[in-house]
Amino acid sequence: MNVSQDMELENKELILSKKFYKKLANERDKRKRELIVNKMKSFEIILLKSKSKSDIPKAIWIRRIVGTNIYKFRVNSGDRILFQYIEGEDENRILFLDFCNHDSQIRTAKNQVLCMSTVGLEIDDKYEYKEDDFDKEIDEEINNDIYGRLETLKQNSVIEDEYICVSIDEGDMEFLSFEQYECISNRNKQSDLILGCAGSGKTVVAIRKLILNKEENLKSIYITCSNMIVDRVKNLYYRFIEKDNMTSFYTLRNLCFEIIGLKNPIIIEYKDFYEWFFNYALVKEYTNKVDVREIWIEIFSLIKGTAGKKQNSKELEGIISEDEYYNSEESHHDLKTRKIIYRIARIYQYWLKNNKYYDDNDLAMLSLKKITSKYKYDYVIYDEIQDLTELQLNFIYSIARNVNNIMLIGDIDQSINISKLNLDFLKNMTYGSNLKLSEKFIIKNYRNGSETINWINAFKQIKFSKFKSMGKNFEQEEEYIKEGTKPKIIYNVKNQIKILSNVDEDVNSIIIVPDESDKKELEDMGYTLGRVFSVEDVRGLEYDNIYCYNILSKFNYIWEKVLSTNSKLEDIYRIYFNMVYIAVTRAKNKVVFIEKTTPVLDSVLEKHWDKVDYESEIAMNTDKMKIKPWYKGFMLGTKSSVQENEFDEDTSKAPEPESFKESAVASIGGFVGALISGGLVGGILGIEKVDEWSQEAEKLEKTENYYQAAYAYKKAGRQADAQRCLREHEVKLSYEVNIQN
């Protein structure tokens, strides 16, 4: 900083809170008042001139109040100045909050709403003064203020579980359960790991924590995996907060894009890996040796997901070395299989590199190299942590100024891209700073009905008995709040299309299959895939009715192994339980299993579901299937087969609502508003569903389920939007690889 900049700083007016200004104006001792002002000016100049914490003179005695972003500046033995370091658009300044002494009531300026973001100062112990009783008194008053806010929240917003269900049904997320409240009332200033079952309201906890952070003037960030969840959380947050530039909302990918400087890159997920695997001749030969999903998990979570902490390949950035992998205790495969998987990993990484594709580990690694102070936060919340690799977790911790101020939220029973969340890694991240990770569990499920949860608990008990325990808290049964009916199961289905076709007309129902191969199977039978989702596709979604196609019997070979052994299984097999769990817990009302063969697990779970005669169900729904849908002629194919001319209507613009209604009425031949109910599928066809299909399409587009979004847009009469989503879905991948040796 040059002389002119020094003079500019000296001539700037101090920024004082109203409370501070009033106290200073009322100071009768003029000499003392001038002394305080001069000290404040000198203090601000020195602090803003310092490029790093080592530049701060030892004589400047400052200390952060634990758990806040408020600092104390020691004027003398009896006086303290409370301040915040704030970041403006053009410059950084000091906001002086309060002046405290032994003769006055100690209160803070925590209720002030700042127009600028507060940032943290990193102060070494050698620059901090030794605290006396007066300092402790200040800290206690400030923390009492925080706890007072929690008590007010508890009195005004915590209600009984039954009323929580009602508020959720009405779309009102204003209230908290006692379980949820306990998750944000951490008074020990520890980082939080909050693990909750599906439908437990984990995201509501995040929203309430963000609101409390705003009241404490903390620069906070909420991160999750989906644009749909980000939009939902942001909208709910702004029901409570009118104006705020201190809280940021991102998907993890979008945050990485911004830090790295990437625009619209192609991101590779499991389903893209699956397509590449079966389209590239060099890796097809391994198909029968190792399950494709297990290969993906080994590469994603271990070979790439630990690249930040282990010795990397000298030849190829982004993967660990062969020796590291072959000697790893984290893999359950034998050496011969590891060599096959590592070979595939190398080819995969070259494929990404050659085509400038990225996966989520690549984004985390690149972001770690480019984090600046702009992306440092007082408080970090990550929602849906269960599929993060160690490399991604390392990135999350790296954007937090203080590892005490992190809240990680997730459900370990929904992890399918890694075999198991690495709790030891999380604990080491905090223990390394002489801190402790606070673990909290939410077991009340507000989404699924009683009989569905009984089925879930029976299913999870099999899982708990077959794997090494993670601790009793991780094996608690889920509790239901609302009543519900038993899941249904149809065995040995011969004409599944007749059953599944009913779902096409119901915006409140979907079909879930294990993976992409099952979609292809249905497509080969001539089935339209507009309401068919893989397990990968449905996380974060929920529907009244869920139809699980072949999701149990497909894994009969896994269940046979599970039931036949008395030994503890390798963690990789958890994913098969988790895939089923994700599918079933999407249902708010009804769950139906449609199985090609009898599931091996039937002998264990038979009392928890009702067996259904599918012939009688088809007969019951025959009349429904005779109704011609108004979108006649609309068919969708797979990612590789969708054609622009599949839409025979004018796609230049979506029809006006009235003209759409006329065509809809004509198309369904007078069945306007017909009520179709009973049997396995219920739903209302007709023009009343236009808005629902439109909302459904927008939701699916945000989750990047472009194919299904196109189908829903078509049902809503929004042709141009349907075409746009089809183009997104049709993004072509190059499957060739140029391997450099």
Q: Give the residue among 637, 538, 537, 550 at the shortest CA–CA distance from 271.
A: 537
Q: What whole-number distance in Å separates Cα of residue 676 and Cα of residue 574? A: 39
Residue 314: is it exposed, middle or buried by C-beta count within 10 angstroms (0-12/13-18/19+)? exposed
Alpha helices, H only, 418-489: 423-431, 450-466
Identity (one letter) of the amino acid at 587? A
Please, are residues 361 and 304 in contact by the beta-carbon 8 Å criterion?
yes
**Residue 717 counted as an annotated binding residue:** no
Residue 384: is it exposed, middle or buried by C-beta count within 10 angstroms (0-12/13-18/19+)? buried
Q: Identify the H or E element spanning 641.
A: none
SS3 219: coil
**Residue 201 counted as an annotated binding residue:** yes
Please, are residues 256 and 363 in contact by the beta-carbon 8 Å criterion?
yes
Residue 524: is it exposed, middle or buried by C-beta count within 10 angstroms (0-12/13-18/19+)? exposed
Number of C-beta neighbours around residue 570 at 10 A: 14
Name, in order, each residue with C-beta under 8 angstroms of 102's C-beta and a sequence gap of 6 or more: 78, 134
Number of C-beta neighbours around residue 677 at 10 A: 9
**Residue 104 counted as an annotated binding residue:** no
Instruction: Give the angle subtended at the CA of 73 by the CAs of 71 and 79, to the nearest 5°.
Output: 125
**Residue 197 counted as an annotated binding residue:** yes
DSSP 214: H
**Residue 100 counted as an annotated binding residue:** no
**Residue 196 counted as an annotated binding residue:** yes
Name, in order, each residue with C-beta under 8 angstroms of 739's C-beta and a sequence gap of 6 or more: 346, 347, 350
Beta-strand runs (E) in 265-402: 379-383
Q: What whole-number distance in Å separates Cα of residue 378 and Cα of residue 87? A: 13
Residues belonging to the binding site are: 196-203
Q: Annotated binding site for ATP: which residue ranges?
A: 196-203
